[in-house]
Amino acid sequence: MDKILITRAGYTALETELKKLKSEERPAIIQAIAEARELGDLKENAEYHSAREKQGFIEGRIKELESVIGLAEVVDTSTLSGPIKFGAVVTLVDEDTDEEKTWQIVGEHEASVEKGLLNIKSPIARALIGKEEGDSVEVRTPGGSKSYEILSITYK
pLDDT digits (tens, 9 = 90+) for 75-94: 999 889 999 999 999 999 99
| Residue 78: predicted pLDDT | 87
Residue 112 belongs to domain spanning: 88-155
8 Å CB contact between 137 and 122: no
CA separation for the pair 104, 3 (Å, rounded): 20
**CATH number for the domain harbouring residue 146:** 3.10.50.30
- pLDDT range class, residue 54, cuts 50, 70, 90: very high
User: Domain ends where: 19, 54, 75?
Assistant: 75
The one-letter amino acid code at 64 reads E
69 and 96 inside one domain: no
Beta strand pairing call for 88-94 and 100-106 = antiparallel
Question: Where is the domain boundary, 50, 75, 100?
Answer: 75
Q: Give the separation between CA 23 and CA 43, rounded to whole angstroms.
A: 29
